[in-house]
Every structure is written in structure tokens, then in C-alpha cells.
A and B are shown apart, each in its own frame.
Chain A
């Protein structure tokens, strides 16, 4: 477990020293979201209707954007070889990397999304629901994206490939995340949606670390 926290702390402090990397991802999220009203038009009822889907898709793309470098730096400078030799499970290392990714992207995206939601004319409960679903749903995106990043390590055109691999697997999270706000608008509670999102996160938590570790092992061979 000490290895887990050490790796997590290292990854976070690496980001801490270069906050611009996180800033770029958040800026992309804001700009991408703002493009939608410009493209679709400023009618408030239309915007409120599509807000959840737009914000969820933009968050998904923003999370993917930062994933390409998740293992690449460690792969290039040899850290990955040390992780492979380390006496503690590689699955934990994979989990630590994904957790670090979530803390520096998923978490700020979830906190930023309600602010953008105001610009789309979402009401208070919807903003809260948006933040809640993003908080529960984005860990799944980090885990699935982490797997795609590990699989494409050292591949040609890895950025586009990563998106091709991760996006279909992220569909359930997107559906239940964006669907929650719509259910709320229809007058129902979002508990079911949040519970299913949590279940999806748990399934990802139970499967992806092993797959990531397997992918990293074959990359290190």
C-alpha cells in the first residue's frame, strides 16, 4: 500500500509542478462546451435540453485528451520498467495512476461543469445532479481510458486509436450520466441513475486494473 500512495503522491506532485497541463484540459472543456451554443443558437429551452449531453460528452473528450500521456512518460524514461520489477502488484500501480488522473481531471471537470451548466440555463437541482453524476461517473472514464492508454503504449497513431478503443466502452457511463438530468427534468429522482453509475464504476474497478497491468507487462517485454 505504501507503494500505492508513493506513486499517487509522485504523480500528483508532477502535475503540481506543471499546473498548465491540467489548465489546458479544463480550458479545452470550457471552449468545447461553449462552441455548442454558438453552433446551435442561443434559445434557452433548447440549450437546457441538450446541456447534460453536451457537458458529459465534452467531459469525456477532455478526459481522453489527457490520457495519452498517462503511461507514455513512464514508458519512455524507464519508470515503467522499475514498476514492473517492483515487489508490489502492478495492478495497484495501475490503479494509482488512474486515481491520479481522476484527481487532476475528473474531479476538476466535475466541479467546473455546474458553472458551465448555469450558462446553459440548467436549474439548481439539475446542476447538483450534473455534478453528482460526473463525480460518480468520471472514475469509470479514467479507468477505461487508462486501459486504452496502456493498450496503445508505443503504438503508431496512439492518440486517435486510444479514442477509438475507449469511446465505445464509455457509452454506458455516458448514457446513465446524461440520462440522469433528463430523468430529473421529467420529475423522477436520479437515485437509480447514480446507483447504476456507481455499479459501472465498480465493474470497471474490478476488471480494468488487471487488464491495465497485463497490457503494461506486455508493453514492458
Chain B
């Protein structure tokens, strides 16, 4: 049964990659959009 550990690890890594990637991508998009808003003077710079 010990060789199953690889599959468990792989599935947690896959889940972390997809969901973590989505979190990072979402945060990056928010930063980018905010910066563009700030560049237009629509949002006070933080």
C-alpha cells in the first residue's frame, strides 16, 4: 500500500497548483487593474 503515497501526494499537489494558481492569478489581476485605475486617477494609490 505504500506506493499509493505518490498518488496521494500528486493529487494534493495538483489541487494546490490549480487552486493556488487561481488565487495568485486573481490577486495579480486585481493588483494590475487597481494600478491602471490609479494611473487614471480614479483610485487613490495605496
Do the two chains touch directly in the complex (Cβ atoms below 8 Å apart)? no
The chain B residues found within 8 Å of chain A, CB to CB, are none
Binding site for B on A (CB under 8 A): none
